[in-house]
């Protein structure tokens, strides 16, 4: 079974989770990049509004051939209790039909359950099978803490 970890990360915390998954599960890693500038206070505010409205955005890569993958992890930070615009765009753009999906979200305080549920609903309506999900709280945690939390989840959810 070939595995892909597909993720978006703004602060680097979701990237820590994705890279830990990739190293432990020997999965390929693809970072989705949002081509809209999302730095600075004003931009953070409009980014949260974009997430809440599920606004589409330009992403890179704009195409991914998923035919060789059986299992795909999709990860995102939580913005306004929603997945990021880049991940919403990827879910709408790429063909996840008949793929087994495991979702993950990183969040500071709350909203992870709603973000996971929204991704699950969108993927299932497009013919994917969401088989598992997890959330990692990142507030006041460093890279080592996030890596440890991810390793614990890999073990407790029997992802290997």
pLDDT digits (tens, 9 = 90+) for 89-142: 999 999 999 999 999 999 999 899 999 999 999 999 999 999 999 999 999 999
- List of long-range contacts for 46-50, beta carbons under 8 Å, 24+ apart: 47/79, 47/84, 47/85, 48/79, 48/80, 49/80, 50/79, 50/85
**Residues 139-155: pLDDT tens digits?**
999 999 999 999 999 99
| CATH (domain of 150) | 3.40.50.360
Q: Domain range holding 65?
A: 3-156
**Whole-structure pTM value:** 0.92
Burial 74-104 (b: 16+ CB within 10 A, else e): bbbbbbbbbbbbbbbbbbeebebeebbbbbb
Domain count of the fold of the chain: 1
């Amino acid at each position: 079974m070939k595995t892909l970890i597909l993720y978006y990360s703004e602060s680097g915390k979701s990237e820590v989770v994705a890279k830990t998954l990739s190293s432990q599960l020997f999965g390929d890693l693809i970072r989705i990049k949002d081509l809209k500038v999302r730095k600075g206070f004003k931009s953070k505010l409009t980014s949260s509004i974009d997430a809440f409205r599920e606004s589409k955005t330009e992403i890179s890569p704009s195409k991914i051939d998923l035919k060789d993958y059986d299992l795909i992890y999709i990860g995102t930070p939580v913005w306004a209790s929603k997945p990021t615009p880049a991940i919403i765009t990827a879910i709408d753009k790429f063909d996840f039909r008949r793929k087994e999906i495991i979702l993950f979200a990183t969040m500071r305080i709350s909203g992870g359950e709603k973000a996971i549920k929204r991704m699950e609903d969108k993927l299932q309506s497009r013919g994917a099978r969401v088989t598992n999900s997890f959330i990692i709280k990142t507030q006041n945690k460093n890279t080592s803490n996030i890596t440890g939390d991810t390793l614990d989840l890999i073990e407790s959810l029997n992802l290997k």
